[in-house]
Amino acid sequence: MSGGHFDYGCFRISQFADELQHEIDINDVEDLDEWGDKVGNGFKKETMDRIIAAHAIIKKAGKLAREIEWLYSGDYGEKTFNNFIDEIMKEY
């Protein structure tokens, strides 16, 4: 199995990014949940712009953490690691 050196912490970062994306997607939803609360938070555009920018960084951090995890776990060498890191850095 791949990874494991950092107890798969990279996946916790990626999961946070996924959960944050969901919150971004439902921000403006005004439907009520089973407790009568609005589903979305209704944050203003200015706030959402910052959240979206932060989300991009967190998403990138999850990908970078995964590559570091795999390197330290011996799943591939430095050349492959460097190539993956370079590609991730170009994405954003």
- Give pLDDT tens digits for 50-91: 999 999 999 999 999 999 999 999 999 999 999 999 999 998
Locate tokens 């967190």: which residue? 58
Output the pLDDT for position 2.
73
CA–CA distance, 62 with 38 (Å, rounded to integer): 30
- In 3D space, the residue among 15, 12, 17, 5 whose CA is nearest the CA of residue 68 turns out to be 5
Q: How confident is the model at residue 4 (pLDDT cuts 50, 70, 90)?
A: confident
Tokens of 91: 């994405």
Q: Is residue 57 part of a domain?
A: yes
Number of structural domains found in the chain: 1
Q: Is residue 62 part of a domain?
A: yes
Enter the pTM of the model. Answer: 0.88
Q: Is residue 22 part of a domain?
A: yes
Output the pLDDT for position 46.
98
Tokens of 48: 């959402």
Output the pLDDT for position 3.
76
Q: Is residue 28 part of a domain?
A: yes
Q: How confident is the model at residue 92 (pLDDT cuts 50, 70, 90)?
A: low
Does the pLDDT value for residue 37 go beyond 80? yes
Q: How many C-beta atoms lie closer than 10 Å to residue 84's C-beta?
A: 18
Q: Which domain holds residue 76?
A: 9-91
